[in-house]
Structures are given as structure tokens and as C-alpha cells.
Amino acid sequence: MNPTTWDETAQRRPPERTPVGEVMTPSSVSIRADATLEETVAFLVDSGSSAAPVIDETGRPVGVISRSDVVVYDRERLLLPAAAPYYFESADEIAAIVGEERSATRVADVMTPAIFSVTPDLMLGEVAEQMTDLHVHRLFVVDDSGVLVGVITALDLLRHLRPQALAAAEGAPR
């Protein structure tokens, strides 16, 4: 891997002068608050996403659902089932308990009902500071009317800061 030369670095705008809108991932995927937990798990797994914004009928974000939210929900259901044993004979028993509850559970019941959002004109330096202060991996990008237009993740920031290093790492064998 070759180190970045001064000329390459000088041509890239620093985070303090780069707006989110130039680096964000445009958001075309989101989950409706009335979707079932089963549908949501399938969506997260199939899309490879670790989280997705939850939107209302107007397209405005009302929360976020993450794989962590699902794991916490499942753990609570397994530890505190209505009349289940403290141990399980098989994985089928666990699947039966979790599956029944998931099919009746809506995203709105499990999601984190908070959205940390920014506008497309905010500079990346401020985004990095907010992510650090809030201890989050992503911020949702909304337009002036509050409609979801994208997402900016920690990985997006890294791609902007070190595109050559990230490209080399992605091509390296694991």
C-alpha cells in the first residue's frame, strides 16, 4: 500500500469544509412503524444493514430499529416468558417462543424512539463530533421539512478521510 502523497491530500477538502450531502449514503430504505418484527429481521439480514430508520406515513423518521434492538427484545422475551422453563430442551422451543411473539410485535414496539439527525449542509467535522458525543455509528440526514434523505455513518466518514487505505483494506484477504 502506498502512502497518500501531499498533493492527493491537498486536493481533498478537509472535514471542516465538506458538507454531509457530498458524503452521505442516499436513503432509499426504511421501515414503516407498523411493520412486523419478523419482516424487520428479514429486511435487516437480507440487506446486510445493522439498522434502519423507522418512518411514519409522511416519510418522516420517528425512530430507528437496529439488530441490537432485536437482540435485546429477544433476550427479554426469553428471560421473562409467561410460563416457559428456565432452560430449553432444543432450539425449536426457543424458536417457538420467539417466533410467536415476533409475528405479533410491531417495529414501533421495539425501536429506539429517538432519531439523531443532521441536515445535508452540516460539515463533516461537526458530524464526527456529534457521533462521538452521542456514542452512535450513524446519523440520519433530513431535509428542511424533516423528510429523510440519507444516512451518514462512521464508515462514510472513514471512506472520505482515507479512501485509498479503505479500498486497499476492502481488497485484502480476510
Measure the CA–CA gap between 71 and 41, rounded to whole angstroms: 10
pLDDT for position 5: 40
Percentage of the chain beyond pLDDT 90 is 34
User: Contact, 4 vs 164, CB < 8 A?
Assistant: yes
pLDDT over threshold 90, residue 111: yes
First to last CA, the chain: 16
Specify the pTM: 0.67
What domains appear along the chain, each with residue ranges and CATH number? 6-171 (3.10.580.10)
Q: Helix crossing, 91-104 with 37-47: angle to 10°? A: 110
Instruction: Count CB neighbours of 28 within 10 A.
Output: 8
In this prediction, residue 96 has a pLDDT band, given cuts at 50, 70 and 90, of low
In this prediction, residue 78 has a pLDDT band, given cuts at 50, 70 and 90, of low
